[in-house]
Amino acid sequence: MSYKNLINKSLSTAFKLVKDLAEDGTLVKVTSNAFDFNASAATTTDAVPITVKVIPLESTKRSDDRKVITHSLLFRASEITAINKGDKITLATATYTINNVIRSDRFMFYVDASKEG
């Protein structure tokens, strides 16, 4: 057995062991072909939804901006090919925007995502 298969099997086991701590989420990867600088938005976008298992690690509110809630999230890389700043993740009824990809390797993605609350 290769190390890659061993690590993927171990990650599958870990996600099963955390049970209800891992949430089902929908990642929407947004790709854009053009940007309108006047409107500060993408002019043409393609949204591709992907169902993923997510482990929310921590939630913080900064003292200077109490309306923004930031979550640190953990994804398995086998479910997602890539994750970028600006992609959206929906957990339960809340939609978060990916702000920062803290760590990404061939097996896991660790990201910060935020929403206005």
Asked whether the predicted pLDDT for residue 12 surpasses 90, the reply is no
What single letter denotes the amino acid at residue 72? Answer: S
Number of domains in the chain: 1
Lowest mean pLDDT among 11-15, 25-29, 49-53, 93-97: 11-15
pTM metric for this prediction: 0.76
**Cβ-count burial of 97 within 10 angstroms (0-12 exposed, 13-18 middle, 19+ buried)?**
middle
From the CB of residue 54, how many other CB atoms can be counted at a distance below 10 Å? 26
pLDDT for res 112: 92
pLDDT for res 82: 82
Three-state SS sequence of 73-94: EEEECCCCCCCCCCCEEEECCE
Tokens of 91: 């957990």
Instruction: Please indicate whether residue 33 or residue 51 has the higher confidence score (pLDDT).
Output: 51
- The answer to whether residues 97 and 115 touch, using CB atoms and an 8 Å cutoff, is yes
Q: Phi/psi of residue 111, each to 5°?
A: -130, 160
Kindly state the DSSP code that residue 67 receives in the 8-state scheme.
T
- For residue 26, give the CATH number of its domain: 2.40.10.370
Q: Look up the domain containing 85 and give its range.
A: 3-116
Spatial distance between the Cα atoms of 72 and 91, rounded to a whole number of angstroms? 13
pLDDT for res 1: 67
